[in-house]
Amino acid sequence: MPHSDNQTQDETGIEGQSLAVVAESLYVANLLILPFVAFIVLAVMFLKKHRDAPALARSHLEQTMSASISIAVMFFAAAVIVMLLKMWGMEDVTVWMIVVIVFTIIHATMVLLGVLGLAKAMAGKCWRYPVFGRALPHGCRQ
């Protein structure tokens, strides 16, 4: 099949797809390589582009912000629980076992969901994170 015009993926892609891919990439980067820095960039991008973004991009921006805030709350709650356990006299080994298990489960799950969201963004589809994801905007195809 002959190649049609020299159009780039951006020119032929779905409206808002590149912004959706960037949002999901920043979410995964926040979890894996640039914690907090990638979140700040994501938050600034959310504040600047959320209102005017197409439905696909708006969906991914909302989901990544919701997921980022949710994971921060989960880790903060886990830290408070660990401190309480330590204050109540639980042994160090037990506390560290709980910390490692909880961190591994939460972090691995959130990374997996982020990669799934990135795949959906690259496919030009909306994505809703399970449990804490926000409702999808009108006009999103799944």
Helices and strands, counts by H and E, the chain: 5, 0
Distance (Å, whole) CA 45 – CA 65? 10
Q: Is 3 domain-assigned?
A: no
Q: Is 4 domain-assigned?
A: no
Q: Is 137 domain-assigned?
A: no
Q: What mean pLDDT comes out for the span 109-127?
A: 93
Distance (Å, whole) CA 142 – CA 140? 6
The pLDDT of residue 8 is above 50: no
Write down the pLDDT at residue 7: 45
Tokens representing residue 18 in the block: 């590149």
Q: Is 132 domain-assigned?
A: no
Number of residues in the chain: 142
Q: Is 21 domain-assigned?
A: yes
pLDDT tens sequence across 14-71: 888 999 999 999 999 999 999 999 999 999 999 999 889 998 999 999 999 999 999 9
Parent domain of 26: 15-121
Please state the domain count of the chain: 1
Write down the pLDDT at residue 108: 94
Q: Is 49 domain-assigned?
A: yes
Q: Is 8 domain-assigned?
A: no
Distance (Å, whole) CA 29 – CA 86? 32
Other Cβ atoms closer than 10 A to 78: 15
pLDDT tens sequence across 72-105: 998 899 889 888 888 888 888 888 888 899 889 9
**Could you identify the residue written with the tokens 């989960």?**
74
Distances (CA, A) of 58 to 36, 39, 40: 21, 17, 17
Q: Is 60 domain-assigned?
A: yes
